[in-house]
């Protein structure tokens, strides 16, 4: 028997600490303005803080339902119908998660199998690739070119193969601020309609949009939403990133698989925060 420590074989040997952690530490060390993470330098709305305090005082301190507080899921369904003309089922189609990152991880884990290819548009959120790798998937990167950072649909079609399982998009796009239009979703549908390919639409900045056409959601496309997961975040919208409250909307068969993963990642999200978000 040796005294050498037992070191696990890394599942992500090429990765270190996330760049967000490193840059935030440097910003704090040098008292610099932190542009590395998606949070503001001012606090969130006072009324939300008061709601949180109210629910804590009223005893909302135990486990929340696994899929999320019922009133919150119903509010999300109503909001989706109001903005995008489609009302998902609050019971079967909406899952509240510990931030959008958990929703992304749970969705990727539920959909990607060993050897599946996943198309990502670069630059992209740095959590996509590790989640894909942990599920045995293969990242196929497509660079969005400046100055407009729009998808070249001929190049996209050339990336498709029999192994393509999933496409991940982000709109409004971080960091370019490019906003997908309905024509983009129509082009995506035309490209994948004949394939068994799912879509994850990362829409955490849906309300931080200064374009003239406004936000176009995958949920507004009748065909795509039948095979898509839309992910959003209360933290980004209301400047409450520390609450870690997000959600995903997907058809019942997809949501059922996402929930199988979610229940063994976090099971549920903090009760006061989700009750206060209603």
Domain assignments of the chain as residue spans, ordered by start: 46-276
Q: From CA 222, how far away is CA 226, in angstroms rounded? A: 7
Question: Is pLDDT above 80 for 2?
Answer: no
CB 257, CB 110: distance < 8 Å: yes
H helix runs in the chain, sequence order:
19-29, 46-57, 70-84, 99-111, 128-134, 153-159, 182-192, 234-238, 252-265, 271-276
Asked if pLDDT for residue 27 goes beyond 60, the answer is: yes
The CATH code that applies to domain 46-276 is: 3.40.640.10
Nearest to 119 by CA among 153, 156, 88, 173: 156
In the block, tokens 């548009």 appear at 121
% pLDDT > 90, the chain: 81
- Alpha helices (H) in 70-127, listed in sequence order: 70-84, 99-111
What DSSP line would sit under 37-50, residue for residue?
A: SS--SS---HHHHH
Residue 6: both structure tokens together: 């037992």
| pLDDT tens digits along 96-135 | 999 999 999 999 999 999 999 999 999 999 999 999 999 9
Q: Using alpha carbons, select from 67, 122, 272, 107 the residue that is nearest to residue 201.
A: 107
What pLDDT score does 13 carry? Answer: 87
């Amino acid at each position: 028997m040796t005294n050498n420590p037992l070191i696990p074989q890394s599942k992500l040997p090429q990765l270190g600490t996330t760049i967000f952690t490193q840059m935030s530490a440097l910003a704090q060390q040098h008292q610099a303005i932190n542009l590395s993470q998606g949070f503001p330098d001012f606090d969130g709305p006072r009324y939300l803080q008061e709601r949180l305090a109210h629910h804590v005082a009223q005893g909302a301190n135990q486990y929340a339902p696994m899929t999320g507080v019922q009133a919150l899921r119903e509010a999300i369904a109503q909001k989706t119908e109001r903005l995008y003309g489609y009302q998902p089922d609050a019971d079967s189609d909406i899952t509240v998660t510990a931030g959008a990152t958990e929703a992304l991880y749970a969705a990727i884990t539920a959909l990607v199998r060993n050897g599946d290819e996943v198309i990502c548009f670069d630059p992209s959120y740095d959590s996509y690739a590790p989640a894909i790798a942990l599920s045995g998937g293969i990242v196929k990167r497509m660079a969005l070119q400046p100055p407009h950072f729009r998808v070249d649909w001929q190049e996209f079609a050339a990336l498709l193969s029999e192994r393509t399982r999933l496409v991940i998009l982000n709109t409004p796009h971080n960091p370019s601020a490019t906003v997908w239009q309905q024509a983009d979703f129509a082009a995506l549908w035309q490209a994948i309609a004949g394939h068994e390919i799912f879509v994850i639409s990362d829409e955490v900045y849906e309300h931080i949009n200064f374009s003239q056409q406004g936000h176009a959601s995958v949920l507004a496309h009748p065909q795509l939403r039948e095979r898509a997961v839309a992910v959003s975040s209360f933290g980004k919208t209301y400047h409450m990133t520390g609450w870690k409250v997000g959600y995903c909307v997907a058809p019942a068969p997809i949501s059922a698989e996402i929930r199988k993963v979610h229940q063994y990642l976090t099971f549920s999200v903090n009760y006061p925060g989700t009750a206060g978000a209603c």
